[in-house]
Amino acid sequence: MAVTIKDVARLANVSPSTVSRVISNSSRISDATKNVVYAAMEELNYKPNAIARNLANASTKTLGLIIPNKEENLFKNPFFIQAMRGISIYSQKKNYKIMFNYSSNPEDELSFVREFVHSKWVDGIILLTANEDDLCIDYLNEQAFPFVVIGRPFNLHDIMWVDNDNFQATYHLVNKLIQKGCQDIAFIGGPSRRIFSKDRLEGYKRAIDLRNLTLDEALIVETNDFTDENGYQAMKEICKHKIPDAVVTTDDLLAFGVLKYIREHDYKIKVTGFNNTPLSEYQMPALTSVDIKAEDLGYNAAKLLIRHLEGRDSPVNHFIVGTELIERQSTK
Amino acid sequence: MAVTIKDVARLANVSPSTVSRVISNSSRISDATKNVVYAAMEELNYKPNAIARNLANASTKTLGLIIPNKEENLFKNPFFIQAMRGISIYSQKKNYKIMFNYSSNPEDELSFVREFVHSKWVDGIILLTANEDDLCIDYLNEQAFPFVVIGRPFNLHDIMWVDNDNFQATYHLVNKLIQKGCQDIAFIGGPSRRIFSKDRLEGYKRAIDLRNLTLDEALIVETNDFTDENGYQAMKEICKHKIPDAVVTTDDLLAFGVLKYIREHDYKIKVTGFNNTPLSEYQMPALTSVDIKAEDLGYNAAKLLIRHLEGRDSPVNHFIVGTELIERQSTK
DNA sequence: CTGAAAGCGCTTACAG
DNA sequence: CTGAAAGCGCTTACAG
């Protein structure tokens, strides 16, 4: 059997209560006793049983994570692994552990969340995406269970979240293209059930607007999925109407399809992607892309949540992570 | 306060013991009582407290995972996320949870393993890589703690592991190249502290040997890291000696560097990679690569471990996952 | 088939 | 500053 607090107490000639207090470094224990206890722990190679502590403390110092498996581009887009890394780094600092689950569909996602919540396995949950009418968010709110969302939720009751300023990112980007002399700037975006898709489109529209260019709806395509094929088709569609001099996309995969179309037709069009995936620098030409700093998103999500769990809430319940435009040949 | 087994017992007019037995669906409980208890659980919306169960059962139904963070190509190579997905899928089936940690160096890795072991947080551990003189493996062995390794360990005491047949993979590949008429086949591999590097080199040598080609040591380069730069330099080195008609590499990133060198010099050389990363199909030309089926590796690792934990050991303590050669333009 | 009791290994309010 | 005792919410050998 493993050595317990009782064994330590016996050897140190104190009560288990005292040992417990030494471990948690709590209250007023004399240095003398502390040292005896430390020595005993050392000698017996004692390690606290985390599970027993969890039960007594009604807390696990563990965060739950749901990874949406449906994401086709889970492997091509390093977003999730980067975010997880950021989460992990902050959590480790604060001695929190992480538990995760892949979900293959929204129903699974909800049931994993429920399981996390009522089994008492985790102290808080990090949602890696925010959807319109997000069932998990609704449920967690209803249960008043601590959680944070990566991605600004549609409906911010009193929710903690972290996100980029997606509006600003495309606004800035489009401005830059206009400065370079582009007039006809097309936009290929994602499904509007994702709020970042909406925000990015808005940023684009605003920039066009403020620069007194005319907004040409035929230059805007909203796709269902982030695939090269969709990018390719969207580009084909747009070009039937008019050959733009720049194309802004909201995902690198879309941009890859666009580049392919452009190569085939030997057009000279500036193209930008989003997410700065590793693939982008290998494109022909290398793709300019907006880096969304996924690791920072994860890091700050963990930070907001853990601070909340420790009762040290930040003055604001959300955090904006800056994006960075990585310029490569495709906008030269 | 959350509802406990006692509340259910009270409502159902039975003892807590009985409720507990109904939950675990154990022993002989009459259907009548079962139904009363189920009804009570339903009414109170009772959910067992997992932590309390863990403590009483001395088991958490949780697996621990260490993700080596040092891997430069964590994002470019989807190995880890794919393996995690495989692990997760099998675990979910068996109602096991997963806990993970990123480690930034081997010392961290060991200390996370220790923490997993002695805190009783997890029932078993999955190591995502096997190194020569692997400290974690030694420690886990010493502690007789259940674990499985992805990657055949150098020193197989009585260790559970899953791996590809790396020898076979390159052997087969080189044979194929020879059949296509290649004579001077170069090899660019990784550091020999990884056993898969060794195995792949052996497979290459054997194929050359059996086909009665002469093994030219100057056509073999072992690099320290899997980077395009290393691939590029290695290729440069090799070409000083002789222009080969094919190059076998043990990682896609190496192959990317090789392709770059070849493009620059406009050589006509067949090239193969390893891991079939998403990047490979975007290369110019698209890269032929060996898919190592990382998800299957993870799945079977979890399977071996969980079966072991449940006392249903497989007759063999390891499992070989087949590779698949994905042929693209680079070997046309 | 079911219950009372002890136990899993901690923590902590209470008392001294 | 320290201890005895009760408690966290389950499980299970023992007894009936």
Q: What is the pLDDT of residues B273-319, one digit of tens each?
A: 999 988 888 888 999 999 999 999 999 999 999 999 998 887 889 99
Q: Using 50, 70 and 90 to split pLDDT, how confident is the model at A75?
A: low
Give SS3 for B213: coil
pLDDT at residue B75 tops 70: no
Q: What pLDDT does residue A261 have?
A: 96
Report the CATH number of the A5-48 domain. 1.10.260.40
The partner residue sitting opposite B279, judged by closest CB among A51, A52, A279, is A279
Give SS3 for B162: strand
Report the CATH number of the B62-164+294-321 domain. 3.40.50.2300
Residue by residue, DSSP assigns B176-212 as: HHHHTT---EEEEE--TTBHHHHHHHHHHHHHHHHTT
pLDDT at residue A71 tops 60: no
Q: What pLDDT does residue A1 have?
A: 59
pLDDT at residue B131 tops 90: no
Q: What pLDDT does residue A298 have?
A: 97
**Distance CA B282 to C1' C3 in A:** 69
A120 touches chain B (CB under 8 A): yes
Mean pLDDT over each residue of chain A, to the nearest integer: 90
Least confident of A7-11, B35-39, B77-81: B77-81
The reply to whether B166-293+326-331 shares the fold of B62-164+294-321 is: yes
Is CATH 3.40.50.2300 the right assignment for the domain spanning A62-165+295-321? yes
Give SS3 for B171: helix
Distance, in Å, from the CA atom of A305 to the CA atom of A124, rounded to the nearest integer, reads 7
Distance, in Å, from the CA atom of A291 to the CA atom of A227, rounded to the nearest integer, reads 18
Q: What pLDDT does residue B35 have?
A: 87
The partner residue sitting opposite B278, judged by closest CB among A54, A76, A101, is A76
The owner of tokens 């209560």 is A17
Q: Using 50, 70 and 90 to split pLDDT, how confident is the model at B181?
A: very high
- Give me the architecture of the A166-293+326-331 domain, per CATH: 3-Layer(aba) Sandwich (3.40)
Q: What is the pLDDT of residues A167-180, one digit of tens each?
A: 999 999 999 999 99
Say if residues A165 and A131 touch (Cβ distance below 8 Å): no
More confident residue, B211 or A263: A263
Cβ within 7 Å of strand C: which of B 54-83?
55-56, 58
Q: What pLDDT does residue B70 have?
A: 63
Least confident of A253-262, B21-30, B43-52: B21-30
Strand C footprint nucleotides (protein C-beta < 7 Å): 1-5, 7-13
pLDDT at residue B189 tops 90: yes
Distance, in Å, from the CA atom of B132 to the CA atom of B194, rounded to the nearest integer, reads 6
Among A283, A275, A277, A268, residue whose Cα is nearest residue A332: A268
Q: What is the mean pLDDT of residues B89-113?
A: 88
**Domain ranges (residues) in chain B:** 5-48, 62-164+294-321, 166-293+326-331
Among A202, A190, A210, A184, residue whose Cα is nearest residue A269: A184
Mean pLDDT over each residue of chain B, to the nearest integer: 90
